[in-house]
Structure 1
Amino acid sequence: MNNLTAQQIKDLKVLAEFISLYCHAKHAGEMTLDVNIPDILQKKGEAAETLCPECAMLLEHGIEKRVHCPMNPKPTCKSCHIHCYTSEYRLKIRKIMAYSGRRMILRGRVDYIWHYFTKS
């Protein structure tokens, strides 16, 4: 996993942030476990990410799919002709992206405004 491109790292950090935001808002109080994510995606000085089992599984699945994505450059999943995620995972990730994308913009993450309007 040390040979990730800068774009893959950026995409995976965004994915981890989106899933974390969603999980902590929607699944607070549920059992959590440490997520096995590459060190390069963890913020320096912070403990390992803890998520509910469902979100942890989705994040690990998303990391695996992004790392092995055959498309270069990678389009948004919505506009890609290859659907890596099964329909069940696609529904979950869409729900998370919609929820977390809006929350991040409202929290002042202006850099996501560009992504939100250009990738829709």
Structure 2
Amino acid sequence: MKETKKIQSKREREQYVVSQMIELYCKKQHKSKNGALCKDCQELKDYAWQRSEKCPFMETKTFCSNCKVHCYKPAMREKIREVMRFSGPRMLFYHPMLAIRHLIESKWEKKNLDGSV
């Protein structure tokens, strides 16, 4: 089955965003330098990318947190939550366009989940 360009683009955007969040977290929490990640953060990034590559719901989902199937192992899920709790609010300062897009998509998804569209 061939993946459409739209789905591949969405997958790449998701991978880019999670990479930026993990890099920000590692830089601030683990004092990494020059965009290099510590071993744990690199492992988390690789895992997140792998999960994204295998996601069968990429076409319809917006965020993993709203997915009905949680494909992350519990330990990795907690790690990514920690990264997102830390990096999420700071993204507005480091990657404002990504943060604004996320806010818009979150608002849109909330409306769809509530059935108020």
Smaller-chain TM-score bracket: 0.7 to 0.9
Identity of aligned residues (%): 29
Gaps of 5+ in 1: 33-46
Secondary structure of residue in 1 paired with 2:68: coil
How many angstroms apart in 1 are the aligned matches of 2:104 and 2:37? 28
Cα separation, 2, equivalents of 1:95 and 1:117: 22
> RMSD between aligned alpha carbons?
2.5
User: Given residue 15 of structure 1, which amino acid in structure 2 is its aligned partner?
Assistant: V
Counterpart selection for 2:27 from 8, 24, 28 = 24
1:83 maps to which of 55, 70, 75: 70
Q: 1:110 to 1:13 in 2, by over 3 A?
A: closer
1:116 and 1:87, CA in 2 relative to 1: closer, same or farther beyond 3 A? farther
Q: C-alpha offsets along residues 56-88 of structure 1, whole Å, 9 cap, x if unaligned?
A: 000000000001101022231111111110111
Instruction: Give the structure-1-normalised TM-score.
Output: 0.72
Q: Which amino acid aligns with 2:43?
A: M
* Map 1:56-67 → 2, pairs under 5 A: 56-67=42-53
Q: What is the CA deviation profile of residues 9-31 of structure 1, one whole-angstrom value per residue up to 9, with x for unaligned ones?
A: 111110110000000100016xx
Q: In the aligned structure 1, how far is the partner of 2:40 from the partner of 2:13? A: 23
User: 2:114 maps to which residue?
Assistant: none
Counterpart contact for 2:91–2:98, Cα < 8 Å: no
Aligned to 2:90: 103
Give the partner amino acid of 2:56: P
Runs of 4+ with deviation above 3 angstroms: none
What is the match of residue 12 of structure 2?
Answer: 9
Normalization by structure 2: what TM-score? Answer: 0.74
> In the superposition, relative to structure 1, how do residues 117 and 7 fare at CA in structure 2: closer, same or farther (>3 Å)?
closer
